[in-house]
Amino acid sequence: TAEARCRLISWLIPVHREMGYSFETLCLTVNIIDRFLDTTPVAADCFQLLGATALLLACKQVEVHPPSVKQVLAFCCDVYSRRQLCNLERVVLYKLGFSLGAPTICFFLEHFTRVRLETPGANSGEAADAKSLARGVAEISLADYAFTKYRPSLLAAASLGLADRLLQHRCPLDLKVSGYRQQELQDCMNNLRLLVSFNTSTLLLVLPEKVVRKCPWLQDGD
C-alpha cells in the first residue's frame, strides 16, 4: 500500500544518511523498490527486508565501498537472516533482469545544474543553493506515493524551479531546458510546494545550515 511504502522509504532515508551514502544511492534504492513492486507482491513482514535488499544493491551499484550484509541487517535489528537477504537479492535481480542502472532525480538535478552553469551570466552561488534546496525537496518527495506519477526529470526540474522561487533568485534556471510544458512543470511545482508546507521540520533536518539561513519562511514553519 502507499502507506506501507511511505513507512519503508521514511525508514530508509535516515538509514542511508547514517551510513554516509550518497543521494544517488537513495534515489536508486527507491527506484529498485518501485520497479520490483511493479512485478511482485511483497508480504508485509518482508517489506523491510525488501528495503534493506534494495539499499544493498544500490550501494553495490553506486558506492565505492558498499556495506556488508551484516551491516545492512544490523539496521533491521537482525530480524532477518543473511540467507533471507541473499535469497531476496537473487529474486530482485532476476525480476529486474539484472538491470540496476536507472536515470534518477539525483542524476537530473546534477544535469540541469551543469546546464545552468554553462549559461552566460550564470550565478554559481545561486545554482549551488538551488541544488541543495531542490535535493531536500526531492528527498522528502521520495516517500510520498503521489509523486511516483512524475518522471525523475520532471521532479528534478520542478524541484529546482521551486527552489529558485523560494530563494528569490535573480538568475533562475530556465526550465525550458527540461523539455516539459509550463503546465506540467507548474502542476508538479504546486504539489511540491504543498509537500514542503507539510514537511518543514523534516526539510530543516536535511538542508545545509547556510541554505536554511536563506529560508526564513522555512524557519518560521510557513
Question: In this predicted model, what pLDDT tens digit does every residue of 182-201 receive, in sequence order?
Answer: 999 999 999 999 998 888 88
Label each residue of the chain as H, E or C: CHHHHHHHHHHHHHHHHHCCCCHHHHHHHHHHHHHHHCCCCCCHHHHHHHHHHHHHHHHHHHCCCCCCHHHHHHCCCCCCCHHHHHHHHHHHHHHCCCCCCCCCHHHHHHHHHHHHHCCCCCCHHHHHHHHHHHHHHHHHHCCCHHHHHCCHHHHHHHHHHHHHHHCCCCCCCCHHHHCCCHHHHHHHHHHHHHHHHHCHHHHHHHCCHHHHCCCHHHHCCC
Q: Tell me the per-residue pLDDT of 133-145, one tens digit each, with 9 for 90 and over.
A: 999 999 999 999 9
pLDDT-based confidence at residue 94 (cuts at 50, 70, 90):
very high
pTM of the full structure: 0.89
In one letter, which amino acid is 209?
E
Task: Give the pLDDT score at 217.
Answer: 66
Q: Is the pLDDT of residue 107 over 50?
A: yes
pLDDT-based confidence at residue 27 (cuts at 50, 70, 90):
very high
Task: Give the pLDDT score at 33.
Answer: 95
Q: Is the pLDDT of residue 219 over 80?
A: no
Lowest mean pLDDT among 41-50, 106-115, 180-189: 41-50
Domains of the chain: 2-95 (1.10.472.10), 105-219 (1.10.472.10)
Q: Is the pLDDT of residue 222 over 50?
A: no
Task: Give the pLDDT score at 220.
Answer: 58
Q: Which three cell numbers stand for residue 156?
A: 528534478
Task: Give the pLDDT score at 26.
Answer: 95
